[in-house]
Structure 1
Amino acid sequence: MSAEATNPASPGPVAPTVPRRKARPRIDLRRLGRAALLGPAARDRLPDAIGHVAEAHRAHHPDADLEPLRRAYVLAESSHRGQMRKSGEPYITHPLAVTLILAELGAETTTLTASLLHDTVEDTDVTLDQVGEQFGAEVRYLVDGVTKLEKVDYGAAAEPETFRKMLVATGNDVRVMSIKLADRLHNMRTLGVMRPEKQARIAKVTRDVLIPLAERLGVQALKTELEDLVFAILHPEEYARTREMIVDNTARSDDPLAEIADEVRGVLREADITAEVLIRPRHFVSVHRVARKRGRLRGTDFGRVLVLVNEDADCYGVLGELHTCMTPVVSEFKDFIAVPKFNLYQSLHTAVARADGQVAEVLIRTHQMHKVAEAGVVALGNPYAPPAEDQHHAADGERVDPTRPGWLSRLLDWQEAAPDPDTFWSTLREDLAQDREITVFRPDGGTLGLPEGATCVDAAYAQYGEDAHACIGARVNGRLATLSTVLKDGDTVQLLMGQDPASEPSREWLEHAHTPGARIAIQRWLATHPAATGPEEASPAPEARTEAPSRPPVPQSDVPSRPAADGPAARPGAANAVTDLPGATVRLAGCCTPVPPDEITGFAVRGGVVTVHRVECPGVERMKSGGRADVDVRWGDTTACRVTLFAESFGRPHLLADLTEAMALEGAEIVSATVEPPSQQRVRHTYTVQLPDAALLPALMRAMRNVPGVYDVSRAQTPGV
């Protein structure tokens, strides 16, 4: 059985009631059970047992057709007949309760129909095909989505694989998870008869998986009650202390929140703003968190003032009046209307202070925003319905689907790569523990939704999937940045991708990967390439470095050039120097990167190599003073060259883009680039560039100096560059 029974002798947690405009008493399921025992009503007559479901449904959908609900109840009741819950109630009371929860939240008829039938395929002889034949493909899909996989087939993997199946189904229809959340809420309400160890196990899964999913889907009404029920089971002593604090506050003769609410009503009445002002008590877990944060609680800490208005503009009107006529705490202001949270939540948050120092939080929203804040995606209705004329569109022309948010798409992407149930299960819990999302922008106008703390590595795999193995760098807000750079909400990220098919991720990237998708992709590549290079060879330099797609980076040692006539071949396309020393290999020194027509000299080093330096290189003087004799060298016929340049600049937006554009216009191919962290508003850039002709170098350096903000450009003169 998928639902558990109530223990009447075991009192559950009693959460403070949240005021609602149309509050209804909790339905007596024992009475519904007695109604269910009487069997179905006459044909075409609505059974008494679903009367409260119908009433709640019609409150949100006055024109709803109740016939599907009647037929679904008849099938569910007849199928579950004879099955009892551990409390002794008919089993049908469970799907009835789940359906009532969803009806109160405003779910549409198809969801309620599937909710009544959600355990039939799992616990009775009814088949999915029968559900589909009688109620259609949508109801069949929803019922299938919440049906558990059998332990006899999957063993210990049954629970994680069931959640994997459910999440995939949710990706196509979010109503699957709505039914699952309501199902878990009723089971948590009725968990009292279970053994303590089983209660704890179910509560932990609820805490780690279901509550974060409820938060992400915006279903706060379910999330807050689930939090309190889990709190009572896993932390009974702290729960008892919190409950005592709430009871003591309720018994107080004065209520500062009520007084502030009255003052708010007066202010809005004077301003002729129509509004409903309520006191919204904090639930148990919220009170507990505030107590841990602030220590001793005062009267205003036990709830918030909620102001409901009709139009968006009225929200800002209320805000202006409160900030004008009362004492605002400006640091507490947040605008989630202009910038909604990733779970659809919209509201203005502010706070006002009383003369005695007590501060009350105030939430300002429209009635529609309040409905979505409570019910989240449940309030959106049928995701299969045709889009409205004014439906928002994404930058790439696709319809923005609020029932398929970015976090869910990412989760569905990485779960496909999770190799086994244990990895999926642990990674899912870890992913859901990341409870805040940021939005970063791509240069093409698109966006990426990432969890807080994500880095450029995460952005690369979010945008390119496993093709991100070829990522060689990034620009954040126009500046070169390391792949380990942590991104902030609103950053613009340009990912620099190489074209080498042999590109490979660095093992070091795992330390910077914050998202499961990035970590799984990197781990999978490393597992299939055990002989891959270590982080010293595969990772970028500590500074931000980018490299040209088709050329290897300049090594830190000397760069080989064309040897003497009887020596080995030179690196193609590089400037070449020659010497008459028999059998010698000629290399250009990396400390000064000489290019034609520089005056040059050479020194013989071990291995039959002659290193070529500019005559003004500081290394030349050191080697001569050390007694090393110079060797005659001269430039060969090839005019192409590779050279390292330093640029000194003041920091400003878009400087890097302007500088690299100026270099490209002069025919320079940037092989590698390094930008050091700014120091006293000054930035030092290092570029190694390839030029088709060394004669272009003076013009290149002039063009770089002409970029606004650049005050000096010089050739490399320091050993070890």
Structure 2
Amino acid sequence: MGTIEKLSQRLSTYLEPDQVNLVRRSYLYAEQAHEGQRRSSGEPYVTHPLTVAQILAEMHMDHQSLMAAMLHDVIEDTAINKPALQSQFGETVADLVDGVSKLTQIEFSSQAEKEAENFRKMTLAMAKDIRVILVKLADRLHNMRTLGALRPEKKRRIARQTLEIYAPIAARLGMNDMRIEFEDLGFNALHPLRSSRLQAALNTVRGNRKELVHTIKDAIETRLARDGIVAIVEGREKHLYSIYQKMRSKKKSFKEIMDVYAFRIIVDQVDTCYRALGSIHNLYKPVVGEFKDYIAIPKANGYQSLHTVLVGIHGMPIEVQLRTKEMDELANYGIAAHWLYKANDDDIQVGHSRARKWVKGLLEIQQQAGNSLEFIENAKIDLFPDEVYVFTPKGKIVELPAGATAVDFAFAVHTDIGNRCIACRINDRLAPLSQALQSGQRVTIITSEDAQPNPNWLNFVVSGKARSAIRHFLKSQRRHQSVELGQRMVNQALKSVNLSLEKLTEDQAQQLVKDSAASSMESLLEAVGMGNRSAASVAKLLASQHAEEDSHEMFAPLTIDSADGLMISFARCCRPIPGDNIAAHTSAGKGLVVHQESCRNLLEIRNSKPDTISPISWAETVSGEFLVSIRVEVKSERGIIASLATRISEQGAGIEKIQVNERDAHNMTVQLTAAVSNRVHLANIMRRVRVMHSVIRVARSKN
């Protein structure tokens, strides 16, 4: 365990004396604040912030980050607040500490919500100052190293959270050394038995591999020296968690994964990387399709290397990474290299700007998410390290998660392009919007001013930005439609007393909002449209003298002119279609649910909740397709289902679902769900089906 003196000596090698003194002062302040507090292991609590600062000192972080590390638990675990820290150490350090501190004052309904809200708060702080996440990662790393003293369930929860969030964040920021340690420590805490068995197997194999690794390394070094290339060649060890992940995802045995040998070649300049690549491709044959150039097209976190796979002695695969020393440091330290090298290197600057771009993307997702749980769900998607790199028509590179589609690409370019997207071209050929993109493809998005996001896109988009933007649009549209429906319903309820919302004076409108305890007229109408408040109760507030009067039949009902609409839905129990006698009831969160007048479920609602029933009718012309259930009894014959489907399709109706039940050896019942435009259309379909020689009976299904 280190001391503040040892840390001060370390810091004096790269910080000014007055900056070192500020770090010492913050340590003494933390020591006093945490006096009497102990960790689960029994050590004085101040050992934790000191070790976090030591981890950051290894990355040569600036003095403000180190001060924040010393003080990061002061707001959360002691009586000291942010203003007190600000007066002592300045606004920047206080903001960093506040960003790292959890939300301790708020009660959450679940542990998941608490963790999500903490992550959301940290993201906002990261957007302001990227150092927040570096202090948080160092804090988490020390906590993971000292998990042993915790209860088993808490240990597992912290390990799972580390593997799901903090290890991917470290990967996103290019901090490979930290990611590997997070993954191995998390794996050991979450699956101790698997981890220990895998470690034992690895120790056994390591001895047998040494000689072969040495042989390959000598061969590579000899070839590079012969070609006049100065390089460091290292045999790369696979870490425990990556072996476990490969065994699971690729369904391979431990032996198959350990049969691959990995090496890293570090040279002085970028052009030497390519020369070295040619040299080793002449030594061992490369595997076709396994070469990746991350120098020309860096990964999203700024990682750069050439990757190739070779066929070595006895046909065994050899993975090789070629990079410069700067690229190697950036791969290990990631964004922290920005401070490690005082931001002189261009590659490091690029890594830093990419990290900021990622945080900015997280911020966009955060602004559009409905709540913290939705935000963390979308953010997790964007933390997956695998990426595809595609090009815009002008040749700009766009980085997307693996499995991304043209819709993900459209939203990555700009939210407006995603919202107005109708089709796409991949390498100048029309392609489905749901097609997964491959690296190197050129994608062109076709847009229309009248277009809007399709809810079905949520079934195939993979990026957090696309998912949150589509949900945000649908929520806005749903709100707009709820307000519109609420206005129609309240006006309908007011007709009996010869009133309408349009005729209200400003004072009357304000009084109505006040009496109904709503925040605004819009939110009141939205509540009515969503079915969370009845139109009759709002009308009663405006016209109390008519409150006793049941006036449902005294005015024209609402009309339905389309099958589309977020706030008017059609009950599955009776599946009403244009031409049916209908009525509706308001359902909380759904708006109006339309039933056939004769539906048993509607009858029950009439008896139990009569005030939720609303009169409704079809408009003279209704557009769109409506689902209807048809029951067909047929003789069991070969090809009868195909004939039945063909006959229905010929009548211009789509079939959504077919279910077949065998009644006996000779007969069976076919239950169909078809899309029709109205009762006349349905009658024509049933007439055409009825004349088929194998059909015994056809009828519309009722609940």
TM-score (ref. length: structure 1): 0.60
Q: Paired residue for 2:276?
A: 318
Asked whether 1:402 is paired with 2:360, we answer: no
| Cα-to-partner distance string for 1:667-694 (whole Å, 9 max, x where unaligned) | xxxxxxxxxxxxxxxxxxxxxxxxxxxx
Q: Tell me, in whole angstroms, the C-alpha distance in 2 between the residues paired with 1:241 and 1:216.
A: 30
Structure 1: which 5+ runs fail to align? 1-28, 36-46, 394-398, 538-721
Q: Tell me, in whole angstroms, the C-alpha distance in 1 between the residues paired with 2:440 and 2:563.
A: 34
Instruction: Confirm or deny: 8 A CA contact 2:262 2:320 kept in the other structure.
Output: yes
| Cα-to-partner distance string for 1:448-469 (whole Å, 9 max, x where unaligned) | 4432323333333344436744
Asked whether 1:513 is paired with 2:461, we answer: yes
Q: Paired residue for 1:357?
A: 315
Q: Paired residue for 1:159?
A: 115
Percent of pairs with identical residues: 36
Aligned mate of 2:367, from 407, 411, 416: 416
Structure with the largest fraction of helix: 2
Q: Superposed, which structure 2 residues align to 1:338-357 within 5 Å?
A: 338-357=296-315
Instruction: Confirm or deny: 8 A CA contact 1:290 1:301 kept in the other structure.
Output: no
Q: Superposed, which structure 2 residues align to 1:199-218 within 5 Å?
A: 199-218=155-174
Distance 1:193 1:341, change over 3 A: same
407-416 or 222-231: which moved more? 407-416
Q: Paired residue for 1:499?
A: 449
Asked whether 1:191 is paired with 2:151, we answer: no
Q: Tell me, in whole angstroms, the C-alpha distance in 2 between the residues paired with 1:138 and 1:335.
A: 40
Asked whether 1:260 is paired with 2:210, we answer: no
SS in 2 for 1:438: strand
Q: Tell me, in whole angstroms, the C-alpha distance in 2 between the residues paired with 1:437 and 1:336.
A: 11
Report the alpha carbon displacement of residue 190 of structure 1 after superposing the two structures with TM. Answer: 0.9
Q: Which amino acid aligns with 1:413?
A: E
Q: Paired residue for 1:236?
A: 192
Q: Paired residue for 1:426?
A: 377
Report the alpha carbon displacement of residue 431 of structure 1 after superposing the two structures with TM. Answer: 4.0
Instruction: Confirm or deny: 8 A CA contact 1:257 1:299 kept in the other structure.
Output: no
Report the alpha carbon displacement of residue 505 of structure 1 after superposing the two structures with TM. Answer: 3.3
Report the alpha carbon displacement of residue 430 of structure 1 after superposing the two structures with TM. Answer: 3.9
Q: Which amino acid aligns with 2:370?
A: P
Instruction: Confirm or deny: 8 A CA contact 2:170 2:176 kept in the other structure.
Output: yes
Q: Tell me, in whole angstroms, the C-alpha distance in 2 between the residues paired with 1:422 and 1:357.
A: 49
Instruction: Confirm or deny: 8 A CA contact 1:118 1:146 kept in the other structure.
Output: yes
Report the alpha carbon displacement of residue 128 of structure 1 after superposing the two structures with TM. Answer: 2.5
Instruction: Confirm or deny: 8 A CA contact 2:160 2:186 kept in the other structure.
Output: yes
Q: Paired residue for 1:451?
A: 401
| Cα-to-partner distance string for 1:531-577 (whole Å, 9 max, x where unaligned) | 8966899xxxxxxxxxxxxxxxxxxxxxxxxxxxxxxxxxxxxxxxx
Asked whether 1:438 is paired with 2:396, we answer: no
Q: Paired residue for 1:48?
A: 5
Q: Tell me, in whole angstroms, the C-alpha distance in 2 between the residues paired with 1:322 and 1:470.
A: 49
Q: Tell me, in whole angstroms, the C-alpha distance in 2 between the residues paired with 1:492 and 1:331.
A: 19
Q: Tell me, in whole angstroms, the C-alpha distance in 2 between the residues paired with 1:400 and 1:66.
A: 25
Report the alpha carbon displacement of residue 98 of structure 1 after superposing the two structures with TM. Answer: 1.5
Instruction: Confirm or deny: 8 A CA contact 1:68 1:113 kept in the other structure.
Output: yes
Distance 1:390 1:377, change over 3 A: closer
Instruction: Confirm or deny: 8 A CA contact 2:392 2:444 kept in the other structure.
Output: yes
Asked whether 1:117 is paired with 2:56, we answer: no
Q: Tell me, in whole angstroms, the C-alpha distance in 1 between the residues paired with 2:173 and 2:209.
A: 39
SS in 1 for 2:315: coil
| Cα-to-partner distance string for 1:132-190 (whole Å, 9 max, x where unaligned) | 34444332322121111015444533321110011122223222111111211111111
SS in 1 for 2:303: coil
Report the alpha carbon displacement of residue 226 of structure 1 after superposing the two structures with TM. Answer: 1.0
Q: Tell me, in whole angstroms, the C-alpha distance in 1 between the residues paired with 2:160 and 2:257.
A: 32
Report the alpha carbon displacement of residue 330 of structure 1 after superposing the two structures with TM. Answer: 4.9
Q: Tell me, in whole angstroms, the C-alpha distance in 2 between the residues paired with 1:62 and 1:326.
A: 51
Q: Tell me, in whole angstroms, the C-alpha distance in 2 between the residues paired with 1:439 and 1:331.
A: 16
Distance 1:473 1:317, change over 3 A: closer
Distance 1:338 1:493, change over 3 A: closer
Q: Which amino acid aligns with 1:488?
A: Q
Instruction: Confirm or deny: 8 A CA contact 1:441 1:447 kept in the other structure.
Output: yes
Distance 1:330 1:493, change over 3 A: closer
Q: Which amino acid aligns with 2:5?
A: D
Structure number with higher relative contact order (C-alpha < 8 Å, ≥ 6 residues apart)? 1
SS in 2 for 1:402: helix
Q: Tell me, in whole angstroms, the C-alpha distance in 2 between the residues paired with 1:354 and 1:483.
A: 42
- Alpha-carbon RMSD across the aligned residues, in angstroms, is 3.5
SS in 1 for 2:236: strand
TM-score (ref. length: structure 2): 0.61
SS in 2 for 1:279: strand
Instruction: Confirm or deny: 8 A CA contact 2:220 2:283 kept in the other structure.
Output: no
Instruction: Confirm or deny: 8 A CA contact 1:507 1:526 kept in the other structure.
Output: no
Q: Paired residue for 1:671?
A: none
SS in 2 for 1:403: helix
Report the alpha carbon displacement of residue 191 of structure 1 after superposing the two structures with TM. Answer: 1.1
Q: Tell me, in whole angstroms, the C-alpha distance in 2 between the residues paired with 1:188 and 1:91.
A: 16
Aligned mate of 2:439, from 450, 467, 489: 489
SS in 1 for 2:96: helix
Structure 2: which 5+ runs fail to align? 486-560, 567-703
Distance 1:314 1:506, change over 3 A: closer
Distance 1:440 1:190, change over 3 A: same
Aligned mate of 1:148, from 93, 96, 102: 102
| Cα-to-partner distance string for 1:290-335 (whole Å, 9 max, x where unaligned) | 5554425279647632222222222222222222234444544322
Q: Which amino acid aligns with 2:328?
A: H
Q: Superposed, which structure 2 residues align to 1:568-717 within 5 Å?
A: none
Instruction: Confirm or deny: 8 A CA contact 1:410 1:462 kept in the other structure.
Output: no
Instruction: Confirm or deny: 8 A CA contact 2:365 2:378 kept in the other structure.
Output: no
